[in-house]
Amino acid sequence: MSGYVGRLAPSPTGALHLGNVRTFAIAWLRARSLGGKMIMRMEDLDHPRDKPGAAAQAIDDLRWLGFDWDEEFVQSERHPFYRSVLAQLDAYPCVCSRRDVESAQSAPHSGEQLFYPGTCRGRFRSWEEAAEACAPRTPCWRFRVPPDTTIDFDDAFAGHVAQDISATLGDFPLARDPDGAGYTLAATADDLDMGVTEVVRGDDLLPATPPQILIARALGREPPSYCHVPLVVGPDGRRLAKRHGDTRIAAFRAAGVSPERIIGWIAYTCGLSATDEPASLAGLVGRFSLAAIPHAAVVISSIPFARGNH
Ligand code: GLU
């Protein structure tokens, strides 16, 4: 095995669909084509949004499609680890609601990234004190960003990215949990702890990356490399969702579509195959190349694998 370590990090907030699975296939093929190791990490820390049974269903769907992995982790079992990481970071509790942060913007903002001016810096002595002040809402931990903090990195697919975090984001949230068990802290700490060498994921997470690199450096570690690939979108250009029709893997399985049809479609959309003829994941390892993947998002205008075409 090479030293490459990749990971699949599903969130059990819903069923896997063609979009998630295409990204996972790219991550898996990238690791296996480089002779690397694969980690399965269930990111089940989003309590109100996590759906019962979705984690087991995701694992079952992925196995059915031909995925495998060498190690498995469940984030909800790792609270003590996240607590120990949080203790190493310069973080403080914040009680501001999204609306508070929005109304503190000095200029109209576009997109999802809000600038946080540090309202709660030095305001609370402890998480408990903050929790009391904003009950029944839950505070969040924020990372104290030093002045003039610019992060830049070369993404294996998206190219060069540079962001002045102190000017555009401010003290960003780490987790909405007393132990620090929330996406930004947990994913970053886990990638380091699990020895992940490259993160391959959807480009909706590109904006999450500079903060994750900053956290890694604050922990005295070198971050992994990153590779953000385009998403599958509906005809409206938005990320694949229910309104675009049923593209859940479970629905295709129930309709008798074979895993090879689904993988064949993925191979075609990734430029690994001239047609969407059936294929197996393992069979694509020798053909995989990041350079073959188109840079535009994949648009689904009608559901593939029409009835009678299995
Ligand atoms: N669990 C996240 C998601 O499903 C992915 C996190 C990551 O790849 O860093 O959106």
Ranges of each domain in the chain: 5-77+230-299, 89-180
Model pLDDT for residues 55-65, shown as the tens digit of each residue: 999 999 999 99
- Asked whether the domain spanning 89-180 has the same topology as the one spanning 5-77+230-299, the reply is no
Q: Please give, one letter per residue, the 3-state secondary structure of 217-264.
A: HHCCCCCCEEEEECCEECCCCCECCHHHCCCEHHHHHHCCCCHHHHHH
Amino acid, res. 133: A
Q: What are the structure tokens assigned to 123, written together?
A: 């305001």
Cα 55 to averaged position of ligand 1 atoms, centre (Å): 13
- Would you call the peptide bond into 147 cis, given omega within 30 degrees of 0 as the criterion? no
Q: Is the pLDDT of residue 307 over 80?
A: no
Distance between CA 148 and CA 150 in Å, rounded?
Answer: 6
Three-state SS for 214?
A: helix
Spatial neighbors of 291 by CB under 8 A, at least 6 apart, are none
User: Cβ distance 201 to 23 under 8 Å?
Assistant: yes
Q: In the prediction, which pLDDT does 219 show?
A: 98
Residue 96: Cβ within 10 Å count: 21
Ligand 1, residues 201, 209, 239: which to mutate, most atoms within 8 A of Cβ? 201
Ligand 1, residues 40, 43, 76: which to mutate, most atoms within 8 A of Cβ? 43
Question: DSSP of 73-112, one letter per residue?
Answer: EEGGG-HHHHHHHHTTS-EEEE---HHHHHHT-SS---SS
Any residues with Cβ below 6 Å from ligand 1, and which? Answer: 9-11, 43, 187, 201, 205
Model pLDDT for residues 139-165, shown as the tens digit of each residue: 999 999 999 999 999 999 999 999 999
Model pLDDT for residues 176-193, shown as the tens digit of each residue: 999 999 999 999 999 999
Three-state SS for 18?
A: helix
Burial class, 140, CB count within 10 angstroms (exposed 0-12 / middle 13-18 / buried 19+): buried
Cα 42 to averaged position of ligand 1 atoms, centre (Å): 9
Cα 156 to averaged position of ligand 1 atoms, centre (Å): 18
| Domain 89-180 coded CATH 1.10.3470 | no
Cα 124 to averaged position of ligand 1 atoms, centre (Å): 31
Which atom of ligand 1 is closest in space to residue 20's alpha carbon? 4
| Domain 5-77+230-299 coded CATH 3.40.50.11310 | no
